[in-house]
């Protein structure tokens, strides 16, 4: 009897260990550099929010890991009824996590809310061509644009569909409800967000059953957690730590950082000063020393060479500190004071890059006041249209893979992050947006790029490979858009 009891006890312990191991195999922990400022999918331009909400909410159009646009919540790709009207047929039987049905009403409500000026969405520039959505029947909806829009399908890939009823509740920003493969379990402010697999998901069931997001601003602490097997994925892996990580994920040239000088007022309103700011920075040294070769010098444009609209004939601003000093003297700006705003922990080596830029500017005689802000305060400065920062660092990824998104946000005079009043440039951007011939559209974009380069509206830097640290048990290859899609992740034994 005693021997039988021991056998049963050992068997029970083994079964418990197996069960515990199986449970862990279905759970992962992701360490992000910053906590979401909200979980409302339509309000902020916030990478932490997207990392979470991309798993909760879905769009009418999906993008495959290789970049192909395919039907998502739409049953098929939309058809163009006339030059400004697209018709979607929707998937039947899909429900939001709270039981609300996914119908044309949800699409109409999502677009109406995004376009509502009272909402003040930081994502509005993505959807500036949209006019409205019209319900045809429960599973058919028409989306109307202001003019022919060659980027329409990519815009629909970016528009998350919200539940009409729940979106009106006071707790919507902290209690997200989507149609996606994961639902919110809890958000403990300052500590974690936990998601669980949606048992009623309409698509393929995810293998990972539980995802916990932790918020760790210091990359060294994130790496230590990865090596201690506390984390399974960490964001913004430093190049110098690549060899220490058990595995890495890599998306080439996904992030394009720049400094946006104020071309409207102050010392940087003079184009000679803006050119001097470019010439003062040794971009090759930043690519090699700061990013360990996981970056390449940007060729004078705020878009990656892989995005439609890039002009291959434009060259990078050279490193020429002597000419930078001469231009500053010519503009009467020798020894001028300039404020440089940045943040820390949101993008790879953001603080270090800002500090390096400040050192280069100081070397040509400028007095640089560096302001490193918490991310929420930083976003408020970046998108403050009434009082533009003298110079602000921003790193930009463009999952639309098309110049229109970047130009609408940062080149157009009314862009949420732009710092110029160039009406001619804005007119070119708007003209390109409605041009449906790709060759003609590219030609207009090249005109935009050349004008912005001549005016030095940006201090262009490098294109950065986005690096993720992975635990040994993780099997995940990031897609071209760099999204943290847990449904694409697998855990190996």
| CATH code for the domain in which residue 483 is found | 3.40.190.10
Largest CA distance in the chain: 98
Summarised one tens digit per residue, pLDDT across range 21-54 is 555 568 999 999 999 999 999 998 888 999 999 9
Q: How far apart are CA 246 and CA 223, in angstroms?
A: 10
Final residue in a domain of this structure, among 112, 140, 167: 167
Indicate if 458 and 487 belong to the same structural domain: no
Q: Is there a single domain that holds both residue 201 and residue 124?
A: no
How many whole angstroms separate alpha carbon 310 and alpha carbon 308? 6
Instruction: Please say if the pLDDT value at position 371 is more than 70.
Output: yes
Does residue 197 sit within a domain? yes
Q: In this structure, is residue 299 part of a structural domain?
A: yes
448 plus 314 within the same structural domain:
yes
Residues 293 and 365 in one domain: yes
Same domain, 287 and 385: yes
* Structural domains counted in the chain: 3
Q: Report the chain's mean pLDDT, rounded to a whole number.
A: 92
Q: Any idea what the CATH number is for the domain that residue 345 is in?
A: 3.10.105.10
Residues 305 and 443 in one domain: yes
Which of the four pLDDT bands, split at 50, 70 and 90, describes residue 253? confident
Give me the pLDDT at residue 126, please. Answer: 83
- Model confidence pLDDT, tens digit, residues 301-312: 999 988 899 999
The pLDDT of residue 24: 57
In this structure, is residue 3 part of a structural domain? no
Q: Same domain, yes or no, for 330 and 451?
A: yes
Boundary (domain end) residue, out of 167, 192, 221: 167
Average pLDDT, integer, range 316-324: 98
Distance CA 390, CA 170 (A): 37
286 pLDDT exceeds 60? yes
Give the integer Cα–Cα distance in Å for 42 and 50: 10
C-alpha span between 455 and 316 (Å, rounded): 14
CA neighbours closer than 13 Å in the CB half-sphere of residue 322: 0
Q: How far apart are CA 369 and CA 355, in angstroms?
A: 10
In a domain, 160, yes or no: yes
pLDDT confidence of residue 18: 41
Clarify whether residues 193 and 322 are in a common domain. no
pLDDT at 440 over 90: yes
How many residues belong to the chain?
A: 493
CB under 8 Å to 420, separation ≥6 — which residues?
A: 263, 264, 411, 413, 455, 457
Distance between CA atoms of residues 491 and 493, nearest Å: 7
d(C-alpha 211, C-alpha 202), whole Å: 19
Report the pLDDT value the prediction gives residue 25, as an integer from 0 to 100.
62
Comparing 25 with 124, the larger pLDDT belongs to 124
| pLDDT recorded at residue 163 | 98
Backbone phi, psi, residue 435, to 5°: -85, 120
Query: Does residue 50 fall inside a structural domain?
Result: no
Do 310 and 416 sit in the same domain of this protein? yes
pLDDT digits (tens, 9 = 90+) for 189-248: 999 999 999 999 999 999 999 999 999 989 899 999 999 999 999 998 989 999 999 999
Task: Please give the pLDDT value at position 23.
Answer: 53
Domain extent at residue 138: 57-167
Residue 19: per-residue pLDDT: 43
Q: Is residue 5 part of a domain?
A: no
Please give the structure tokens belonging to residue 321.
């500190």
Q: What's residue 12's pLDDT?
A: 47
413 with 284, same domain? Answer: yes
Range in 251-255, 439-443, 484-488 the model is least confident about:
251-255
162 and 188 co-located in one domain: no
Q: Kindly indicate the confidence band of residue 373, based on its pLDDT and cuts at 50, 70 and 90.
A: very high
Task: Classify residue 480: in a domain, yes or no.
Answer: yes
Could you tell me if 230 and 263 lie in one domain? no
Query: Which of 117, 137, 167 is a domain's end point?
Result: 167
Q: What is the CATH number of the domain that holds 110?
A: 3.90.76.10
Q: Which residues contact 127 (CB under 8 A, 6 or more apart)?
A: 111, 114, 115, 155, 159
Q: How confident is the model at residue 387 (pLDDT cuts 50, 70, 90)?
A: confident
10 part of a folded domain = no
């Amino acid at each position: 009897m005693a021997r039988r009891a021991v056998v049963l006890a050992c068997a029970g312990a083994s079964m418990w260990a197996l069960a515990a191991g199986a449970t862990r195999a279905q759970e992962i922990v992701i360490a992000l550099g910053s906590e979401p400022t909200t979980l409302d999918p339509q309000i902020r331009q916030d990478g932490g929010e997207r990392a979470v909400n991309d798993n909760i909410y879905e769009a009418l159009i999906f993008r495959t890991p290789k970049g192909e646009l395919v039907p998502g919540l739409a049953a098929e790709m939309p058809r163009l009824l006339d030059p400004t009207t697209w018709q979607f047929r929707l998937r039947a039987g899909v429900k939001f996590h709270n039981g609300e049905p996914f119908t044309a009403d949800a699409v109409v409500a999502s677009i109406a809310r995004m376009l509502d000026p009272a909402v003040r969405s930081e994502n509005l520039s993505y959807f500036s061509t949209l006019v409205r959505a019209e319900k045809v029947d429960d599973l058919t909806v028409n989306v109307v644009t202001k003019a022919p829009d060659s980027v329409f399908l990519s815009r629909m890939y970016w528009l998350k569909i919200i539940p009409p009823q729940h979106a009106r509740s006071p707790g919507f920003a902290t209690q997200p409800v989507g149609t996606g493969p994961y639902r919110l379990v809890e958000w403990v402010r300052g500590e974690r967000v936990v998601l669980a697999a949606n048992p009623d998901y309409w698509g393929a069931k995810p293998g990972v059953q539980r995802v916990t997001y932790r918020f760790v601003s210091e990359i060294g602490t994130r790496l230590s957690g990865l090596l201690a097997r506390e984390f399974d994925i960490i964001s913004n892996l430093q190049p110098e730590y690549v060899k220490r990580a058990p595995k890495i994920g890599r998306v080439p040239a996904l992030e394009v950082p720049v400094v946006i000088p104020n071309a409207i007022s102050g010392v940087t309103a003079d184009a000679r000063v803006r050119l001097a700011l470019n010439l003062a920075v040794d971009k090759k040294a930043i690519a090699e020393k700061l990013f360990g070769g996981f970056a390449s010098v940007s060729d004078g444009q705020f878009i990656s060479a892989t995005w439609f609209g890039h002009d291959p004939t434009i060259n990078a601003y050279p490193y020429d500190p002597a000419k930078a000093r001469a231009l500053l003297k010519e503009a009467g700006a020798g020894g001028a004071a300039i404020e440089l705003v940045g943040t820390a922990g949101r993008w790879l080596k953001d603080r270090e890059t800002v500090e390096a830029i400040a050192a280069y500017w100081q070397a040509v005689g400028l007095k640089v006041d560096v302001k490193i802000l918490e991310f929420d305060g930083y976003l408020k400065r970046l998108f403050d249209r009434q009082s533009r920062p003298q110079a602000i660092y921003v790193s930009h990824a463009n999952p639309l893979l098309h110049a229109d998104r970047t130009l609408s946000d940062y080149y157009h005079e009314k862009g949420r992050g732009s710092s110029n009043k160039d009406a001619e440039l804005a007119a070119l951007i708007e003209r390109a947006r409605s041009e449906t011939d790709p060759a003609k559209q590219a030609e207009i974009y090249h005109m935009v790029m050349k004008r912005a380069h001549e005016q030095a509206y940006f201090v262009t830097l490098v294109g950065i490979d986005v690096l993720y640290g992975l635990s040994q048990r993780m099997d995940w290859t990031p897609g071209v858009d760099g999204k943290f899609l847990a449904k694409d992740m697998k855990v190996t034994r």
